[in-house]
Amino acid sequence: MRLRFYKYQGTGNDFILIDNRNELLPRSNPELYGAWCDRRFGIGADGLILLQNKEGYDFEMVYFNSDGRESTMCGNGGRCIVQFAHDRGLIEDETRFLAVDGPHDARIEKGIVSLHMQDVQGVESIGADFYLNTGSPHYVQFTNSDVGSIDLTTVAKSIRYNDRFAKEGTNVNLVEAKDHCLEVRTYERGVEDETYSCGTGVTAVALVNHICSENGSYRQAIHTPGGDLAVSLTKTGEGSFSDVWLHGPATFVFEGELVYP
């Protein structure tokens, strides 16, 4: 059986998108989905996303890391599936869909896909670093060094596999502040490597960056190895944020056919 797939990327964070409204693919098949994401023996991607029917919503997003296992929310993946649904004629310029962490609103305007993220209540301080959940767990560390020259994998693995995080894992973000923009590099669990960009990661970084700000609305520019994103937010209290939106491009790359056993 031949199965159509579509490749999308959001600032270099790339995904295999499949319209699974006919429920041909099972919810769990880690060996197969991991093989499709393999960059040498498969299509190659940071993750795989199934678009499925869901009563009361335009669609449901089911996300798998590149290891083939269903995972927590992916911000760039969320933006890509919105563009995919638009390109397939399922939605126009606004949508409401369901993901693993709950409902999300999104809109497309002038080539930018904006995704409403979940509210955040509570940011944990760990020494000079921070830990929070923006749909996925993130560890945030600011540095005064050139973030591009740091051995991210070594630093991140020492955190991701420490006694606290080894079992469930955490994503790790290194951040350098440059003028009004933040330079961010992210190591993602499930991928177990650096990705060019991470939507929930840059969201976490933006919130942490405004943890000491006055209550109110802010927009934070973010630069990743894969391109530019922005996060708008409203700080409502100590470690509390609402009206959080992730903004950036989501681009169709190519499509093809898989032979599905």
Identify the structural domains of the chain with CATH numbers, from first to last. 2-108+250-259 (3.10.310.10), 120-248 (3.10.310.10)
Which 8-state DSSP code applies to residue 45? Answer: -
According to the model, what pLDDT value does residue 250 have? 98
Model confidence, pTM: 0.96
pLDDT digits (tens, 9 = 90+) for 172-193: 999 999 988 999 999 999 999 9
Query: Which residue stretches of 126-216 are H helix?
Result: 152-160, 199-209
Q: For the chain, give percent helix, strand, coil, nearest 5.
A: 15, 45, 35
- Residues 71-82 have a mean pLDDT of 98
Look at residue 240 in the predicted model and tell me its pLDDT.
Answer: 97
Q: How confident is the model at residue 234 (pLDDT cuts 50, 70, 90)?
A: very high
**pLDDT value of position 114:** 98
Residues annotated as part of the active site:
74, 198
Q: Read off the DSSP letter of residue 93.
A: S
**pLDDT over 90 (residue 31):** yes
What's the rounded mean pLDDT across residues 237-259? 97
The whole-angstrom separation of Cα 81 and Cα 97 is 10
pLDDT (mean) for 231-235: 98
